[in-house]
Structure 1
């Protein structure tokens, strides 16, 4: 693609992509035209104004005009070639001072060029350019002045060097301050982006956990009842009808809960249309388990009504998943659910007498992982494992303080997502 372009064009095309060829217009939008032209105008006008008060300096001529204009126009590429601009502006300013021309805002384009280099991460180049200008000025003002214009010029007073040194320090300090500020802004943006990604990941995990709990329980009931219905379809049609009725009810409930989750995803910011499930629905849960062939005995210590929404939902889902695992993976026909509320925590225990059916590992799978995640989100824990007598036990502890919303969030954080004091809405 570079065959018809001279060697300097190929070099420029590699180092300044888009400045030559079809991409020129797209790149030109990033060129700082306005600020550069403003600096160039200020330097030209300011230098002429300053020259009136310095009759002992050399008069402004074509070379001085060229150096001032070249140093200013170099700033057009300060974002693309910060090192070149830092040294280029330093050389232009040094040649201007070496010509004995009047002092003025000639240091402005040098300051802007070095500032851009420092902000771009080219700190060594920027400091080297500033050092070059300062050292060159010392040579011109205290040694080379004998052979440079204006004629009969003497050595510059050392007090003037203090002014130049102050300019150098100011340039470096402003550049470093700008670099630090830019890095802080970039770090803040990166942290905000990471926080957004974490929130999105947490939301996806929460939705996946909710859908798993809803579908795993309902489909397990449907699967068991479908088997019962098929087995009794010819011999006991009435019992088969009961099984089909249970399938219809379980599927309807599952569809309703899944629709609630999906509706919230489609319309963030609206209040949920139905309350999140909680321990108040425990009798309904035990009835569903009973229709699947599992008798559930529930015992309660203390008052389990009026729990914080997050804890109430987590407790319901943990019991639901534990009973679902018994139906799917255990040959037990009876289970026991024990709830105990204290001042600061809700403790629950689900036991069955086994044995495992071998259809899946009772201690593995996504169900137990989801239970542990729900409890951990509220600062609690879940322990699950086989008992010595062949059964299986699930124990959970859910703190009640700071669990007013899903995931243990309270106050405004809990309301960050749609109806977040109601995890079912997501």
Structure 2
């Protein structure tokens, strides 16, 4: 509640024109800033001077119109008018004190029998500011007390208070006063509701922006993981082959080094493509994202790493998001076979039907390490990709040995949905 009240004390003209200031800035404004300029900035001098001038001029006019009916304006009356108007300088910093102070000054002015006039405008402004700032109970209480004082003066205490010979006020006048008070409360409540709505909309927009940033960060992390994990696995395997055959079979070692060069070049290109997405938002990628049309390249790279891949099924037409996800899933699954399986043979099957794409990647095993089940970031990334498109991933050991990855993805997803 304190934070909400602090948000509202500045009024829409200062706190919210360019978005809410930071907490250090608010503290500086509350505690005095640094010099006269900072102090002037936190007090609404222009509006207060305008209200003061209007109240004094309007009261003089009211005194002229009501001459003979009400007490003439004297020094005390003008002091009460200036005090009621001057309190509005602090209405944004101390709304509760100001709303009770203006109501008290107006009650004294009314009880002294001075002419009815715009002194009640100061109460309206203070009440409006307090309600908008979140101090609704204080504003309603001050307004209710002022109305109660008016009832007492107009219907009972008028016998003993100036002006002499005054008569009780009509109940029609009370209806007007009640309507005036209700209008103030209604306008203030409407402004408060609108301000809270604007604050919620700003918070929701900020939350959406943070969520999009998190999603983009996760997307880039998945892309980098898939690219680097696959390429580095190929490089690791081929470097081992090259070292083992460097002396006994230089030609085969040369082939391994050529594979390393090709894999590293491709990885650099894909990493550069991923990092290009960090440029100005809205820019189109300079190179197309990979898809299943590059499946033969994956098969060739796997062959260089000593893995034979058999592909069955036709390459389907997919939306860009689904095409990229399918490519990365196959890439990660083959990478896991190279890294964690003793099998040198894998099978990739593509099936499309009923608006879905089924990807199945099998190897015959056995696993070569404790993490062969794929509990690391690779399978987590595949599941995130599938879930983002509304698809599913099943991965685990097969009953007859080996390992299987089964992905079911919507054929049209992403921007098409």
TM-score (norm 1): 0.88
Q: CA deviation at 1:22?
A: 4.6
The alignment status of 1:49 with 2:55, answered yes or no, reads no
Report the equivalent of 2:335.
324
Alpha-carbon separation, structure 1, partners of 2:114 and 2:181: 20
**Structure 1 residues 368-407: aligned runs within 5 Å:** 368-401=379-412, 403=413
Q: Is the 8 A contact 1:98 1:140 kept in 2?
A: yes
Report the equivalent of 1:421.
none
SS in 1 for 2:311: strand
The alignment status of 1:72 with 2:78, answered yes or no, reads no
Question: Which region of structure 1 is more displaced relative to structure 2, 81-90 or 47-56?
Answer: 47-56
Report the equivalent of 2:221.
208
Where do 5+ consecutive residues of structure 2 fail to align?
A: 1-26
1:29 alignment partner, one of 41, 46, 54: 41
1:91 alignment partner, one of 83, 104, 107: 104
Report the equivalent of 1:170.
183
Q: CA deviation at 1:363?
A: 2.7
2:196 alignment partner, one of 174, 180, 183: 183
Q: CA deviation at 1:33?
A: 1.5
Report the equivalent of 1:229.
242
Say how many residue pairs are matched.
389
SS in 2 for 1:42: helix
Q: CA deviation at 1:270?
A: 2.6
1:409 alignment partner, one of 394, 412, 415: 415
Q: Is the 8 A contact 1:277 1:313 kept in 2?
A: yes
SS in 1 for 2:360: strand
RMSD: 1.7
Alpha-carbon separation, structure 2, partners of 1:59 and 1:361: 97
TM-score (norm 2): 0.90
Q: CA deviation at 1:63?
A: 1.4
Q: CA deviation at 1:346?
A: 0.7
SS in 1 for 2:277: helix
Report the equivalent of 1:415.
none
Report the equivalent of 1:310.
321
Q: Is the 8 A contact 1:18 1:26 kept in 2?
A: no
Alpha-carbon separation, structure 1, partners of 2:62 and 2:266: 85
Q: CA deviation at 1:100?
A: 1.1
Deviations 1:38-90 (A, max 9, x none): 21122222222233321211111211111111111111111111110110111
Alpha-carbon separation, structure 1, partners of 2:204 and 2:179: 37
The alignment status of 1:346 with 2:371, answered yes or no, reads no
Change in Cα spacing, 1:27 to 1:322, as seen in structure 2 (3 Å) is: farther
SS in 2 for 1:335: strand
Question: Which region of structure 1 is more displaced relative to structure 2, 117-126 or 41-50?
Answer: 41-50
Alpha-carbon separation, structure 1, partners of 2:359 and 2:34: 70
Q: Is the 8 A contact 2:319 2:416 kept in 1?
A: no
The alignment status of 1:364 with 2:364, answered yes or no, reads no
Deviations 1:162-201 (A, max 9, x none): 1111111111111111111111111111111111110111
Report the equivalent of 2:274.
261
SS in 1 for 2:358: strand
Question: Which region of structure 1 is more displaced relative to structure 2, 361-370 or 26-35?
Answer: 26-35
Alpha-carbon separation, structure 1, partners of 2:44 and 2:165: 42
Alpha-carbon separation, structure 1, partners of 2:358 and 2:385: 14
Q: Is the 8 A contact 1:330 1:357 kept in 2?
A: yes
Deviations 1:88-124 (A, max 9, x none): 1110111111111111222111011111111111111
Alpha-carbon separation, structure 2, partners of 1:293 and 1:253: 19
Alpha-carbon separation, structure 2, partners of 1:148 and 1:31: 37
Q: Is the 8 A contact 1:78 1:113 kept in 2?
A: yes
Change in Cα spacing, 1:323 to 1:173, as seen in structure 2 (3 Å) is: same
Alpha-carbon separation, structure 1, partners of 2:87 and 2:165: 33
Question: Which region of structure 1 is more displaced relative to structure 2, 198-207 or 27-36?
Answer: 27-36
Alpha-carbon separation, structure 2, partners of 1:42 and 1:221: 83
